[in-house]
Structure 1
Amino acid sequence: MNQGPDDLSSTGEFDSDELALRRLLHQAVQAMEPRDGTLDHLRKAVPARRARKRQAVVGMAAAALFFGTAIPAVVHVSSTGTSANTSNAGHTSQMQGGAGQGKQEDGGESTSGGSAGKTEDKGKGGTKGEDKGKTAGASTGAGSGTDPSATTSTSAPVCTAAQLGTPTASTAVPDASGTVYGTFHITNGSTAACTVTGPGIVTTSAQGAADGSKIGTQRHASGDAASAGLPDPSQEVSQLVLQPGSSYDVKFAWVPSETCPTSEPSTDPSPDPSTSPDTSTSEGSSTGGDTGTSTQLLTEGGTLDGSVLVTNTAEGGGPSVSTTVSNACAGVVYSTGVLPSA
């Protein structure tokens, strides 16, 4: 039930001034009426407003979910890309800065183009010098302590027997263990460079009392019985360019396994006329001391003479050179590969 101004005054909730103001307000709006269709407009606008609010809430939730899943991936990709770009940029800056600084120290100019040109020219010069050094090392056989691998080359044809001329061979005296070391020395005697592709073939031949079945050949390896006197295999080269007059070596070692055999003492049944006693008298008659037997002499035994002929035949079938190891009857010959001559 609606209450009028008089009814409100009876409740005692408002004082006289408030009631007077309330009456004035009621009187001011008493003649006002809503336009036609206002109620219908409110009936449609309120539900539409509520629907928009619901859509806004749903959109905000979807946006929050999207950002929650997409942002970590974007941050990861951005961090990776930035790191790579920073590294490349730093590397480029360092190159440009280093070139510019070097130019400034020389003449005070700081243009990156001129600096880069100078640096590139210097790099080419260094490369040429390096190549020249490698070629010189290959030509001289790397005898000055260079890396043996730098001597390999295929810029010259393979050496022929005629180019290698007449090689030489030498042996040293046996050491305390009886091992004998030797060297085959091969020189390019022609007027053109050629390439040595291997040490050739080392063979043996038994001489005198030497037993061929007890003599063998073997390629030298680190830690074998000849390591004390033969160079390490790391100093060998697979190919070597020999300039005219240049040489290479193939070294070997004879390691005995047995000594040469000795001969057994033997008896000689034939009498020696110079030492036979004279049993005849001046008259030619016997003194009776002749018993009809003769003296037998013993031949002393000794070490039989045996030796081993060691031969090196250069790669391609020649030339060949040999040397003899004396007092050798059984053992192994260890040989090296190609060694640039000092």
Structure 2
Amino acid sequence: MNNGPENELSGLGEAPDADELALRRLLQGAVQDLQPSDGALDHLRRAVPARRARKRQALVGVAAAALLMGTAVPAFVHVANSGSGDDARTANAGHGEQAQGGTGSETGEIGGDTGTDTPSAGGRGTAMDQGGATPSAGDEPGAGADDGASGGTANPSGTVAANTPVCDAGQLGVASAQAASPDSEGKVYGTFRIANVSGTDCAVNGGGSIGFQALGAADPAKISVVAHSAGDAATGLPDPSQEAGTLLLKPDTAYEVKFAWVPSDTCPTNNTSPDPTPSDGGSSGANSGTGSDTTETQLVTEDTPADGSIAVTHTAEPGAPAAETTIPNACSGTIYRTGVLSG
């Protein structure tokens, strides 16, 4: 049979040389005794499908990874570029107070302030809002101030539950409204105490409003109401850091709002009617020969302070109840007020 390479190449018209034929015979003789091992065919039948399955799994994994990256990267970029939406809203620490203005007639007029240190010329204004500071366990009473009626105290450190209702007017009552005597500088400190007269807990979230009524010679254009701040003239009032933004008020407990009257001038004076009084020296002797004595008179006037006073009023945050206390000999000055304080 001519099955060898020589015959194949001969068919093509090419005859190998002797060295090439010898090399081919040598190689053929080296492998002609090689035989496949037992079970090689079965192994190949199992190995080939397994390899193909692994390749398919690898391709599926690569495709899944590419899909995941394609969806995750845009989402990450969106989150990185978006702004934070966690802007927390704090509870309003106080409520703007309104004070009424007037002209200061003899019968008394109602006055107020715009919430600055500059006295208003009357009319309605809004007093400065109270800051929401961290409440303390108790308030240091102002110099010369009266702490008011005794009773339970509010719970400034207690947590106000989200479902605790805000105190309404029917749940609150005036426990006391007092003003102390003037101190050595003429300053007058006072306290309003508002109590929970109901049987359920409620939350106080504002100090209400402080106003005034000018009586007699008091001039409402020279009276203002401002919020107490550290370092102002009302040194006897508690530090503003003791004011509570929101206060849990249990039954039979009270909170306080303190104030200080700081006069800027004394009341005007009134000139009394002149009174005739005899002269100490007098003159006596002959008068046109009549010999009668004559008595000279001297007109004396006296300045007395005009009668003026102010009635300081407080209205709780729900619009009621209202309390009032009067400061005598007060015609012009500033009323400094606090926010909600633990009673």
Q: TM-score, normalised by structure 2?
A: 0.49
Q: Which has the larger radius of gyration?
A: 1
Q: Please state which structure has a larger fraction of its residues in strand.
A: 2
Q: TM-score, normalised by structure 1?
A: 0.49
